[in-house]
Amino acid sequence: MLVLTARALYTPLEKIDRPLVVVEDGVVVTVDSRSHGEIPAAAKRLDFDDGILTPGLVDIHIHGAAGYDVMQADAEGRSRIEKFLAHRGVTSYFPTTVTAPIDTIRRALEQLADGIEGATKHSDRAQPLGIHLEGPFLSHARRGVHPPENLLEPTLANFDRFWQAARGHIRVMTIAPELDGAAEVIAEATKRGVSISIGHSDADLKAARAGVAAGARHATHTFNAMRPLDHRDPGILGEVLSNPALTADIIADGIHVHPEVVRLFLQAKGPERAVLITDATAAAGMPDGKYWLGSLEVDVKDGKCLHDGKLAGSVLTLDRALRNAMEFSSWDLRQALRAATLNPAMVVNAARKGRIEPGADADLLVLSSDGQVRATITKGTLASS
């Protein structure tokens, strides 16, 4: 049994001063304040008296880190990624694929499924909860750096190939809703428990709404790889920003989206529906140089990842995105924290993640008041400090 104490706790919906959190077998048992609760006599105690206890961060869109790409990494590479993420406050993540030849994607999905199924063996690093399939069902007009020769029309047969390779571990899928066959694939994937995210899309407003009607409920890296917002032709962004039923994520590095537009996005979606992601590549946490994004070589310099002159992922970490959200807007730590914990967990239906309450997994952070990571605890185990 483990007891955690700190200066304050954000659940993140509630603030508790001088909290007392009891953990047993990797699960939160009780959450109380020290003025009401008692510390069990036989418990091990970790006291973070000057820190703030929060849920662990959840990154639902990440391609790699620490020099490794999720589509290429073996078990050792995945271990390096996951230990790096834990050091930066991420306790759960969704390895994200990029468009490639079908067989390349299938092999990557099989390996990522191996990592997910073996994740229970490790309690000292970030845990992969599922796979985010980004491509190949994307718009040619808004493909970004996804190779055009490998983009596919969405069909149930194509989707099922990927589903079988991933052994049912696909939990998020980005798709352009205007493509022929998209509505059928969205509906079928939704039945299988996949969170459908509209993105890499040139959809007009009607097509975007058709995707939502078919089952889409999220949007991928808002503003990037999307038809621009026009006051007479709002397009996909008009739906993403105005529909209260949609959650949406954003890359808040100040490079992909101007800080003022990040602020407008956070105002539009609010603390309940905004999600922070990294879209990080293997270059995250590494010096400038050349790295891989799937099968694409990217050049990294001055915080930018480029392929043929186009942005290709980021070097952002989620703890940095958390602090940026506060800097770019009027949000406080608790509001920004929700966008990196509870909200992404809700997008992927991870009911035991992104919150601190009895029955939740003991994935916890200790933060300073300005969002600096002091310590990370995954399933009750101190992962980094």
Architecture of domain 2-53+372-384: Roll (2.30)
pLDDT score recorded for residue 35: 84
> Is-above-0.85 flag for pTM?
yes
The pLDDT tens digits of the residues spanning 147-200 come to 999 999 999 999 999 999 999 999 999 999 999 999 999 999 999 999 999 999
Burial (Cβ within 10 Å: 0-12, 13-18, ≥19) of residue 74: exposed
Q: What is the mean pLDDT of residues 10-27?
A: 96
Distance CA 165, CA 103 (A): 10
Confidence of residue 29 (pLDDT cuts 50, 70, 90): very high
Q: What is the mean pLDDT of the chain?
A: 96
Mean pLDDT lowest among 107-111, 116-120, 251-255, 286-290? 116-120
Cβ–Cβ < 8 Å for 376, 89? yes
Query: What is d(CA 209, CA 211) in angstroms, rounded to the nearest whole number?
Result: 5
For residue range 34-45, list pLDDT tens digits in order: 888 778 778 899
Domain boundaries, the chain: 2-53+372-384, 57-353
Whole-angstrom distance, CA of residue 337 vs CA of residue 54: 8
N-to-C CA span, the chain: 20
Question: Shortest CA distance to 7 belongs to which of 282, 368, 299, 337?
Answer: 368
Non-local CB neighbours of 66 within 8 Å, separated by 6+ positions: 80, 81, 83, 84, 282, 284, 285, 286
Average pLDDT over residues 92-113: 98
Helix, strand, coil fractions of the chain, as percent rounded to 5: 30, 30, 40
Token duo for residue 142: 């808004």
CA atoms within 13 A on the CB side of 108: 27
Total length of the chain: 385
Place of tokens 């979606």: 269
At residue 122, the pLDDT reads 67
The CATH code belonging to domain 57-353 is 3.20.20.140
**Exposed / middle / buried, residue 35 (Cβ in 10 Å: 0-12, 13-18, 19+):** exposed
Measured distance CA(60)–CA(130) in Å, rounded: 9
Token code pair at residue 50:
């000057």
Q: Is 114 exposed, middle or buried (0-12, 13-18, 19+ CB in 10 A)?
A: middle
What are the catalytic residues?
279
Q: Can you tell me the distance from the alpha carbon of 201 to that of 221, in angstroms, rounded to the nearest whole number? A: 11
Q: Is the pLDDT of residue 334 over 60?
A: yes
